[in-house]
Chains A and B, each alone.
Chain A
Amino acid sequence: DAEITQSPRHKITETGRQVTLACHQTWNHNNMFWYRQDLGHGLRLIHYSYGVQDTNKGEVSDGYSVSRSNTEDLPLTLESAASSQTSVYFCASSHYRGDEQFFGPGTRLTVL
C-alpha cells in the first residue's frame, strides 16, 4: 500500500546543530508539505512544494529550508536548531491542489 513515512520519529539535539528530518511518500503525489504542531498554535505550515524543484515558504519558514530533487522526498532542514523549534513536525502530501491531504506519523523534535 502507498504511504508516507517520516524519520526519525524522535530526535533530541542541541542548540546550534543542523538537523534534517526526512519525509518519503510512495503515492507519487505532486504536492508535499511540512507543518509543525504546538500547543496553543495548532498546525502551522513551514514549507511546501508543488513539484520537483518547486518549493515555497509557508507562514513559519524562518530557520527552516527544504529542497525537492525527486517526487518522493521532501527533507526539512533546520540550519541552526533553536529551542523555539522544539515541536512535533508533520509531513503531508496530496495529488493536486485542493485534493485530500495525507499525513505522516510525525517527528517529535526536542532542542536542548
Chain B
Amino acid sequence: KQEVTQIPAALSVPEGENLVLNCSFTDSAIYNLQWFRQDPGKGLTSLLLIQSSQREQTSGRLNASLDKSSGRSTLYIAASQPGDSATYLCAGYGSSNTGKLIFGQGTTLQVKP
C-alpha cells in the first residue's frame, strides 16, 4: 500500500531564503506526483504535476523533482516571500490505472518578513 510522508510538519524561515520541502513515498512504482498549496480556510491550489516520465517540473520560483528510485520528491522554493506562507501538500498516484491521489499530511511553511 502506497504511503506518502512529508517531514517536517512545520517550517519557519526568514524572507529571501531558498528552501526545500520534502515528500517521500513507500512504493517506487508511483505514477504521477502533484504538489499543492493550501491557504488557511481555503481549498487546494495545484502548483505542479510531475509526470512519471519526468524528473522535474518548474513554475516560476518553484521547482519540483521526482526520484522514483529513492522514493522522494522535493519542492524547491527560491527567494521565499511572506506570501509563500501556507501549507504545502504532495500527493501521488499509485499507478496509471487509478485516478486516486494519496496525500501526505503536509508541511506548514511560515516565511517571516
Contact = CB atoms under 8 A, between A and B. Distances in A.
A103 B44 contact: yes
B92 to A, nearest CB: 10
A43 B103 contact: yes
Interface string B23-50: 0000000011010100000111110010
Contact of B34 (A45, A58, A100, A105): A100
Contacts of A33: 99-101
B96 A97 contact: yes
B44 A42 contact: no
Given A43-B89, A50-B99, A101 B42 contact: no
Interface in B60-113: 89, 91, 93, 96-101, 103-106
Interface in A17-56: 31, 33, 42-43, 45, 48, 50
A77 B52 CA distance: 35
Contacts of B52: 98
A104 interface: yes
Interface of A: 31, 33, 42-43, 45, 48, 50, 58, 90, 92, 94, 96-106
Interface of B: 31-32, 34, 36, 42-46, 49, 52, 89, 91, 93, 96-101, 103-106
Given A98-B52, A101-B101, A103-B44, 20 more contacts: A42-B103, A42-B105, A43-B91, A58-B100, A92-B44, A97-B97, A97-B98, A97-B99, A98-B32, A98-B93, A98-B96, A98-B98, A98-B99, A100-B34, A100-B46, A101-B34, A102-B46, A103-B43, A104-B43, A105-B43
